[in-house]
Amino acid sequence: MKLWYETPYTKQAQQLSERLAERGVQIDLQCTDKINAKFLRLHPELALIVDGAGVSLTAQGMKMQPDWKAETGRLKRASLKSEMLARACQANDSPTLIDATAGLGHDTLLMAKFGAKITLVERHPILYTLLESAYQQAQQDTFLANVVQNITLVFADSAEYLQQASAVDVVYLDPMFPQREKTAQVKKQMQLLHMLLPEDGEMDLGDQLLEHAKKVAQRVIVKRPRYAVFLNDEPPQHQWLGDACRFDGYFQ
Ligand SMILES: C[S@@+](CC[C@H](N)C(=O)[O-])C[C@H]1O[C@@H](n2cnc3c(N)ncnc32)[C@H](O)[C@@H]1O
């Protein structure tokens, strides 16, 4: 995969390329003067970028990164009443929690803000590297540093990780679900995620994770689109329903 970088960020680009190589991704480093909207339009293929904003993924003129800083407003406003996810995971009881499908880490940030002690697992090497960069940036931020101290990143496949993990209070699962809507705010980030991760037809929908999770935790919470089928066709014991999504609860 190509990694475009602006000259002042040569060192960061090289370090990133080495880290990705250790994770099995071969990087083709490409230096350029300026990475701006025009540049992105002229280079529509899926690639990584290193510039003043850190590391991002780009394709078809779009650019995205986990951007945990942008979550600050929501995190500051978040209350148990407003956040169904925090209620479902009982995040304010400081549970030990494995988020086995990290993605951009936004759900984890919210639970960490409530005090959950989180192991955040992601198997995709590029996504994991983006998360690592978001984590390092968050450590430099006065508000986010307190939140991310509750998070430990793990680069692994959860199907394997969960089989050797010690018992925790909660496992949280949010596997990919084939994307039908193209218009929400999520669109840019999700479109890029779908380009990076396997296509819908072959996408691992995470069914087997539920069985592994139930062996590790008393409480397993699964995020689904509101009208989606149950994970692994297993009806939950309880549901928390929102407008666009729901949380299915499995209790041991
Ligand atoms: C829908 S995203 C999760 C979004 C996340 N909840 C958030 O707030 O950003 C699903 C993520 O789970 C990851 N994933 C799926 N199966 C996995 C597995 N077996 N082990 C680790 N990560 C997995 C995918 O690579 C993808 O990044």
Burial 3-36 (b: 16+ CB within 10 A, else e): bbbbeebeebbeebbebbeeeebebeeeeeeebe
Long-range own/partner contacts, residues 32-35 (CB < 8 A, 24 or more apart): 32/4, 32/5, 32/6, 33/6, 33/7, 34/6, 35/4, 35/5, 35/6
Please state, in angstroms and as integers, the Cα–Cα distance from residue 160 to each residue in 121, 213, 243, following that order: 11, 11, 33
Full residue range of the structural domain in which residue 36 is found: 2-64
Check if 123 has its Cβ closer than 6 Å to any atom of ligand 1.
yes
Do residues 78 and 21 share a domain?
no
Confidence of residue 200 (pLDDT cuts 50, 70, 90): very low
Per-residue pLDDT averaged across 240-249, rounded?
Answer: 95
Residues 32 and 74 in one domain: no
pLDDT of 224 strictly over 90 = yes
* pLDDT for res 191: 80
Residue 6 Cβ inside 6 Å of ligand 1? The answer reads: no
Output the domain CATH number for residue 221: 3.40.50.150
Tell whether the model's pLDDT for residue 199 goes beyond 70. Answer: no
pLDDT higher than 70, residue 5:
yes
* Pocket lining: 71 vs ligand 1, CB cutoff 6 Å: no
Pocket probe mutation, ligand 1, options 176, 189, 199, 216, max atoms within 8 Å of Cβ? 176
Q: What are the tokens at 125? A: 């090497």
Q: Does the pLDDT at position 206 exceed 90?
A: no
Task: Give the residue from 64, 81, 105 where a domain finishes.
Answer: 64
Does residue 204 sit in helix, strand or coil? coil
| Per-residue pLDDT reduced to its tens digit, 147-194 | 999 999 999 999 999 999 999 999 999 998 766 555 555 567 778 888
Based on the fold, state whether residues 17 and 123 are members of the same structural domain: no
* HSE of 49, CA atoms in CB hemisphere, 13 A: 25
The per-residue pLDDT for 69 is: 94
The answer to whether 119 touches 99, Cβ cutoff 8 Å, is: yes
Neighbours of 1 (CB within 10 A): 15
Residue percentage of the chain with pLDDT more than 90: 85
Is 39 found in the same domain as 157? no
b/e sequence 37-52, b meaning 16+ C-beta within 10 Å: eebbeebeeebbbbbe
Number of other CB atoms surrounding residue 61 within 10 Å? 14
203 with 123, same domain: the answer is: yes
Angle at 54 between CA 112 and CA 28, to 5 degrees: 120
pLDDT in tens, 57-93: 999 999 999 989 999 999 999 999 999 999 999 999 9
